[in-house]
DNA sequence: AATGTTGTTGATCATTTGATCTATAACTGA
DNA sequence: TCAGTTATAGATCAAATGATCAACAACATT
């Protein structure tokens, strides 16, 4: 009756679970990657047992690498948020040797790769709803490092009498971000080319302030 | 040691809780209202005990009015989603006796009262992330009953060569909705006047397609 | 091959949580 | 005033869930 210990010589059933021993760094990263995908899908209230099953490890192992579930979620935040807004963009936006329109399109071409990503978009929304401090900081960073310089550049380039406000810029930004929200939060079928939509949106915005668009 | 049953004659402590008896209809509505506010704040994974405490009733009473927690959430959806998009708007948008710009501004003036509402915005987002069918239906309704007629009207009114696409319209829409997202999802401090931002956004959009804006 | 280290598992604990059940008390009508 | 009805509270159940711990086995070293 006791099927413990290595007496399985006759039944011949191979050990159900190949117990693979990973280097702690690799295992930790594997858990984080799995957790990002998992929590992005079901939300931060996802259960540790479900996560473990999805990764293919035991639930108890999670707690060998992260003291608490909150600590794991913190690691998820870190993985998702870290190095997302390159500080280089602040400078590139202000580089007047390049046409303003090109600078904006270059930024959003780069940035859209981020916001149109399933895991990012959903974890950003989940953490935002949960009131995570990180969201506020991220948006503040977006405001200070991207939109504010951008506002200044557009004001300088505006040749008409109309000049944009910061609220106008958030409107431009929001319209673009909303593409990702429709895709990944609301899961609406999306067939169009996001880059084209972005380009048209930017063009409309600039022409409203008489920034040459062609 | 047995402090059960009516042997509390000496301690004389008045009944802690005035047990108020409400008409079932009233109680049910009270629960729904409380649930809307509660789930909007903490998410649909909020615990029934916390909800009961917030309402000021016992947790068991919740299950006298709703068989399961899911049934309660369904009632919350119903309360929040029902009668949100007046079918009248489909006609008002197509009423060419009124300048197009006025029609659009009238719609968003009305609609923004909805999307800038805390409970609505957050429950819509929570349910969207949870994959609720109702979201899909709502957005589809928005597409068919509002944006599609709107697209047609703008195309007719466009006097230039440029003509908007449906994607352009979603961009306009998204930029406006994003105001509510910033306010209620990300809880960013918001001081500006939303109506002004909306008006400027609509004006930019229309002028891009040579629809007289003044 | 024997041994030591440690990454991993399975069982288990203590709470939490959705849901149920019985006793109670607030309101109604005679 | 008193009995009947039922809305409500409090205790409790069973499953779920975050977290712990001793035992095991995979890999490295000798």
Dig out the tokens for B30 from the structure: 């009270």
Residue B110 pLDDT exceeds 80: yes
Query: What angle in degrees, to the nearest 10, is found between the helix axes of B118-129 and B24-42?
Result: 70
- CB-based contact A85:A142 (threshold 8 Å): yes
Residue B150 and residue B206: Cα distance in Å, rounded? 12
State the residue for tokens 């006609």: B91
Residue B198 pLDDT exceeds 90: yes
Dig out the tokens for B136 from the structure: 């899909």
B188–A contact, CB cutoff 8 A: yes
Q: What pLDDT does residue A18 have? A: 64
User: Which residues lie below 8 Å from residue B169, measured CB to CB, with a gap of 6+?
Assistant: B147, B150, B151, B154
Which of B80, B82, B83, B81 lies closest to B37, judged by CA? B80
Give pLDDT tens digits for B129-139.
999 999 999 99
Q: What pLDDT does residue A191 have? A: 86
- Residues of B within 8 A of A124 (CB-CB) are none
Write out which nucleotides of chain C lie closer than 7 A to a protein Cβ: 6-11, 16-21, 23-27
Least Cα separation, residue B32 to chain A (angstroms): 21
- The Cα-based distances of A180 to A98, A122, A126, B26 in angstroms read 28, 10, 14, 41
Between A13 and A184, whose confidence is greater?
A: A184
Residue A169 and residue A149: Cα distance in Å, rounded? 11
Q: What pLDDT does residue B213 have? A: 67
Task: Give the number of other CB atoms < 10 A from CB of residue B65.
Answer: 17
B162–A contact, CB cutoff 8 A: no
Between B15 and B142, whose confidence is greater?
A: B142
Indicate the helix (H) or strand (E) that contains B199.
helix B194-208
Which H, E and C letters describe A106-159, residue by residue?
HHHHHHHHHHCCHHHHHHHHHHHHCCCHHHHHHHHHHHHHHHHHHHHHHHHHCC
Residue B154 and residue B202: Cα distance in Å, rounded? 11
CA to C1' distance (Å), from A58 to C12: 15
Residue A11 pLDDT exceeds 60: no
Which of A37, A184, A125, A183 lies closest to B125, judged by CA? A125
Residue B12 pLDDT exceeds 90: no
Which of B83, B72, B105 lies closest to B172, judged by CA? B105
- The Cα-based distances of A150 to A157, A214, B89, B200 in angstroms read 11, 19, 37, 18
Residue B212 and residue B214: Cα distance in Å, rounded? 6
- CB-based contact B178:A178 (threshold 8 Å): yes
Residue A152 and residue A214: Cα distance in Å, rounded? 21
Residue B145 and residue B202: Cα distance in Å, rounded? 19
CA to C1' distance (Å), from B14 to C27: 20
What's the mean pLDDT in A81-100?
A: 94
Dig out the tokens for A55 from the structure: 């990764």
Model confidence band, residue A14 (pLDDT cutoffs 50, 70, 90): very low
Residues 42-81 of B with CB under 8 A from A: 43, 45
B207–A contact, CB cutoff 8 A: yes
- Residues of A within 8 A of B45 (CB-CB) are 43, 45
Which of B89, B74, B71 lies closest to B133, judged by CA? B74
CA to C1' distance (Å), from A56 to C9: 12
Residue B7 pLDDT exceeds 60: no
| CA dihedral sign, ordered B174, B175, B180, B185 | positive
Are A178 and B182 within 8 A, CB to CB?
no
Dig out the tokens for B84 from the structure: 């949100």
Q: What pLDDT does residue A198 have? A: 98
Dig out the tokens for A156 from the structure: 């300088």
Highest mean pLDDT among A83-87, A182-186, B207-211: A182-186
CA to C1' distance (Å), from B21 to D5: 13
In degrees rounded to 5, what are phi and psi of residue A207?
-65, -30
Using C1' positions and the CA of A24, the closest nucleotide is C7
Residue A6 pLDDT exceeds 50: no
Nearest to A192 among B167, B179, B197 (CB): B167
Task: Give the number of other CB atoms < 10 A from CB of residue A128.
Answer: 21
B182–A contact, CB cutoff 8 A: yes
Are A187 and B136 within 8 A, CB to CB?
yes
Between A191 and B61, whose confidence is greater?
A: B61
Residue A69 pLDDT exceeds 90: yes
Least Cα separation, residue B213 to chain A (angstroms): 12
Give pLDDT tens digits for B55-90.
999 999 999 999 999 999 999 999 999 888 889 999
Q: What pLDDT does residue A119 have? A: 97
Strands of chain A, DSSP E = none
Are B204 and A205 within 8 A, CB to CB?
yes
Nearest to B186 among A128, A182, A192 (CB): A128
Q: What pLDDT does residue A15 have? A: 41
Give pLDDT tens digits for B18-68.
678 999 999 999 999 999 999 999 999 999 999 999 999 999 999 999 999
Could you give the dihedral angle defined by the CA atoms of residues B43, A131, A112 and B128, in that order, rounded to the nearest 10 degrees?
A: 10
State the residue for tokens 């959806």: B77
- CB-based contact B209:B160 (threshold 8 Å): yes
**How remote is the C-alpha of A165 from its chain's centroid?**
27
Residue B60 and residue B77: Cα distance in Å, rounded? 22
- CB-based contact B121:B183 (threshold 8 Å): yes
CA to C1' distance (Å), from B63 to C20: 9
Residues 63-102 of B with CB under 7 A from strand C: 63, 67-70
Task: Give the number of other CB atoms < 10 A from CB of residue B47.
Answer: 12
Give, as one character, the DSSP assignment of residue B142.
Answer: I
Least Cα separation, residue B48 to chain A (angstroms): 15
């Amino acid at each position: 009756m006791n099927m413990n210990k290595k007496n399985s010589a006759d039944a011949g059933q191979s050990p159900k679970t190949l117990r693979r021993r990973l280097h702690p760094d690799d295992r930790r990263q594997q858990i984080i990657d799995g957790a990002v995908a998992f929590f992005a899908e079901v939300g931060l209230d996802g259960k540790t047992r479900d996560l473990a099953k999805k990764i293919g490890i035991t639930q108890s192992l999670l707690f060998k690498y992260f003291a608490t579930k909150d600590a794991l979620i913190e690691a998820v935040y870190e993985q998702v948020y870290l190095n997302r807004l390159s500080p280089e963009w602040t400078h590139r936006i202000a580089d007047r040797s390049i046409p303003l329109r090109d600078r904006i399109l270059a930024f959003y071409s780069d940035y859209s790769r981020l916001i149109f990503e399933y895991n990012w978009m959903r974890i950003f929304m989940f953490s935002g709803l949960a009131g995570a401090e990180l969201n506020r900081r991220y948006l503040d960073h977006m405001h200070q490092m991207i939109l504010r310089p951008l506002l200044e550049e557009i004001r300088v380039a505006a040749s008409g009498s109309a000049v944009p406000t910061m609220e106008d810029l958030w409107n431009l930004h929001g319209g673009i971000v909303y593409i990702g929200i429709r895709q990944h939060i609301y899961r609406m079928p999306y067939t169009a080319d996001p880059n084209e939509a972005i380009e048209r949106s930017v063009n409309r915005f600039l022409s409203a302030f008489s920034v040459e668009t062609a």
